[in-house]
Amino acid sequence: MYEFVTHTWNTVKEQCFHDCSYCYCKAIAKRFNSPQKPVDFDEKELKTKLGSGNFIFVGSSCDMFAKNIPDIWIQETLNHCRKFDNEYLFQTKNPGSIEGLLEQMIFPDKIRVCTTIETNRFIPEIMGNSPTPNTRAMDMNEIAHKEIKTYVTIEPIIDFDLD
């Protein structure tokens, strides 16, 4: 999806708190008859040499900024990222969490924050435990005001009320 991403890296793995009906990770697990396990922190990933000059999508398989993720998991992930000179993409359905953590934790220098907005409507049976699309948009606006590069993806595209 992101042509500029050279690598993915995941410390937080397994079942995502948001439980969106369209999640590609759920679809992959279903295809391989592999039930998703409870969310977990994979400490072995902290031994990964991330190199330099890469653009790494951190947390591509589970939202590490979801409400149920302990701050220590996030901090350990960020600490490891800071050891390497790369750009990092953090995508979350809960950008308000990142916005709050920007003042509490030290993020790597070169980060980009992304969220997904499917529609302007909130449809719980599709979006699961995700914050509303409007909340995500407002939180991203707050992050952008802190001079952090941001992206918004629209996927899957669900009807928008254009008026």
What is the torsion angle, in degrees rounded to the nearest 10, for the CA atoms of residue 57, residue 61, residue 62 and residue 64?
Answer: -20
- pLDDT > 90: percent of the chain: 78
- pLDDT > 70: percent of the chain: 94
Q: Which residue has the higher pLDDT, 29 or 149?
A: 149
pLDDT at residue number 32 = 66
How many other CB atoms sit within 10 Å of the CB of residue 88? 24
Q: How far apart are CA 110 and CA 108, in angstroms?
A: 6
Query: pLDDT tens-digit profile of 28-75?
Result: 666 767 777 889 999 999 999 999 999 999 998 899 999 999 999 999
Residue 153 tokens read as: 């993806």
Task: Determine the average pLDDT of the residues in 122-132.
Answer: 95
Tell me whether the omega of the peptide bond preceding residue 156 falls within 30 degrees of 0, making it cis: yes
Task: Determine the average pLDDT of the residues in 138-160.
Answer: 93
Is 86's pLDDT higher than 90? yes
Asked whether the beta carbons of 143 and 113 are under 8 A apart, the reply is: yes
Q: pLDDT class for 25, splitting at 50, 70, 90?
A: low
For residue 88, the cross-strand partners are 56, 111
Strands (E), the chain: 7-9, 12-13, 40-41, 55-58, 87-91, 111-116, 149-153
Q: How far apart are CA 62 and CA 59, in angstroms?
A: 6
Instruction: Report which of 21, 35, 3 is spatially closest to residue 156, judged by C-alpha positions.
Output: 21
Instruction: Report which of 82, 129, 146, 85 is spatially closest to residue 108, judged by C-alpha positions.
Output: 82
Q: pLDDT class for 19, splitting at 50, 70, 90?
A: confident
Kindly report the average pLDDT of the chain as a whole number.
92
Residue 161 tokens read as: 């009320």
Is 27's pLDDT higher than 70? no
| β-pair type (40-41, 12-13) | antiparallel
Task: Determine the average pLDDT of the residues in 86-114.
Answer: 95
Q: What domains lie within the chain, and their CATH numbers? A: 7-153 (3.20.20.70)
